[in-house]
Amino acid sequence: MKAQISNNNFYKVVILLCLVICSQLASAQIFKSTSPEKDQTRNGNKQFKKENYADAEADYKKALDKKNNMPEATFNLGDAVYKQKRYGEAQQQFALSSRTNADPMVKAKALHNLGNSYMEEKKYEDAIRSYKNSLRWNPNDKDTKYNLAYANEMLRVKNQQQQSDKNKD
């Protein structure tokens, strides 16, 4: 017994197959890289994951040469130079990222990382200010709350030590 498909059903199946094929082609085009700065940023991300921070930095800078203030490359460049213990440069990148990125969560992360870079240099007041600004964008971030409490404690200890040193003089 042969299954018979009516003309009407046949056309429905053909149209359905065409739609599936077209959607697959369209999604492939969407995920295909559309710009050289995105390619450079992806290359930087790959290098960063491999802990090749200098190479990641170079790729992020290339992306930024192609598109100034590209949000992802700006933020990631801050991470790459932070990992290389160049905290002043990281501070510049994180500050720029927090000012230029429209996404509130990215702003919060940039300000959090800015605070971390200040902590590395024992600039506790600046770190506290950065953590507080981060919490304005993301008030529920537990890591930032913890870091803020830690920075406050380090500042208290530093001030106590300075007061103790003055009393000795």
For residue range 66-75, list pLDDT tens digits in order: 988 888 999 9
pLDDT at 2: 52
Q: Tokens 């590209």, residue?
A: 70
pLDDT at 9: 67
Q: Residue 122's CB: how many other CB atoms inside 10 A?
A: 12
Write down the mean pLDDT value for the chain.
Answer: 87
pLDDT at 26: 64
pLDDT in tens, 117-151: 999 999 999 999 999 999 999 999 999 999 999 99
pTM for the structure as a whole: 0.77
User: Phi and psi of 36, rounded to 5°?
Assistant: -65, -30
Closest CA relative to residue 93, chosen from 125, 63, 52? 63
